[in-house]
A and B are shown apart, each in its own frame.
Chain A
Amino acid sequence: SAVISQKPSRDICQRGTSLTIQCQVDSQVTMMFWYRQQPGQSLTLIATANQGSEATYESGFVIDKFPISRPNLTFSTLTVSNMSPEDSSIYLCSVQGAAYEQYFGPGTRLTVT
């Protein structure tokens, strides 16, 4: 399986600021995804990030709030903009393998004060 890293692993941010989360994979992958996981909850898909095209956002998530970049086949960023306490969560990137399987990064634990 792919080796996936995320930076930062955790952060505490003030309301109204923005945070950019980086996701790095050790091999080229076509499909990358960004998820949010609230404490004790399941995984909620934010968007699908494909290299060379605009990200596809799920209902309830918009580009102005969660801009995504996918400059190449091994890297992506998710920005959480104009943060509020409701954005406190764990953010995970995920990549798809050759046979539909998905692997997750270690996550970024975000706390907004």
Chain B
Amino acid sequence: GENVEQHPSTLSVQEGDSAVIKCTYSDSASNYFPWYKQELGKRPQLIIDIRSNVGEKKDQRIAVTLNKTAKHFSLHITETQPEDSAVYFCAATSSGNTPLVFGKGTRLSVIA
């Protein structure tokens, strides 16, 4: 089955700097890769996703890149703000009939 590794487990950045979180996956059949943000006491929220037919996707200050050959994908947050502080989870799946497999999460702290 699919296995998703996520690094780093914790990340601290100064406000205004960029943050990068990386994930690797094991199943070459995986074709959908979402990222979730979970604030303390809240549910995970889908913030961006990418499918295997594209290499990069951007939405304002966040972007995701995918390297299918290397089986890794990354979340990039630019111009970080204190409200970006949260736990971020990556995930992967290979089809609509299989649930997402999640990474262990990255706790991002943005220091003002």
Interface flags for A1-44 (1: CB within 8 Å of B; 0: not) read: 10000000000000000000000000000010100000001110
Interface range for A: 10 to 19
Q: Judge whether B97 is part of the interface by a CB distance below 8 angstroms.
A: yes
Q: Does B34 lie within 8 Å of A42, measured CB to CB?
A: no
Residues of A contacting B95 in the complex (Cβ-Cβ under 8 angstroms): 100
Interface residue ranges, A against B (CB under 8 Å): 1, 31, 33, 41-43, 45, 48, 92, 94, 96, 100-107
CB-CB contacts below 8 Å: B67-112 with A: 89, 93, 95-97, 99-100, 102-105
Residues of B contacting A100 in the complex (Cβ-Cβ under 8 angstroms): 32, 93, 95-96
A-B contacts, CB under 8 A, total: 42
Q: Does A92 lie within 8 Å of B99, measured CB to CB?
A: no
Residues of B in contact, count (CB < 8 Å)? 19
Q: Does B49 lie within 8 Å of A104, measured CB to CB?
A: no
Residues of B contacting A106 in the complex (Cβ-Cβ under 8 angstroms): 42-43
Q: Is the interface of B mostly helix, strand, loop or mixed?
A: loop
Interface residue ranges, B against A (CB under 8 Å): 32, 34, 42-46, 49, 89, 93, 95-97, 99-100, 102-105
Query: Can you list 20 contacts pairing A with B, beta carbon distance less than 8 Å?
Result: A31-B96, A31-B97, A31-B99, A33-B99, A41-B104, A41-B105, A42-B89, A42-B102, A42-B104, A43-B44, A43-B89, A45-B99, A96-B96, A96-B99, A100-B32, A100-B95, A101-B32, A102-B46, A103-B46, A104-B44
CA of A109 to CA of B49, assembled, Å: 28
A47 to chain B, nearest CB (A): 9
Chain B CB within 10 Å — which of A33, A43, A105 has the most? A43
CA of A46 to CA of B104, assembled, Å: 16
Q: A42-B102, A100-B95, A104-B43 are in contact. List 7 more A-B contacts (CB 8 A).
A: A31-B99, A43-B89, A96-B96, A96-B99, A100-B32, A101-B46, A102-B99
Residues of B contacting A94 in the complex (Cβ-Cβ under 8 angstroms): 99
B49 to chain A, nearest CB (A): 6
Q: Does A43 lie within 8 Å of B96, measured CB to CB?
A: no
A68 to chain B, nearest CB (A): 14
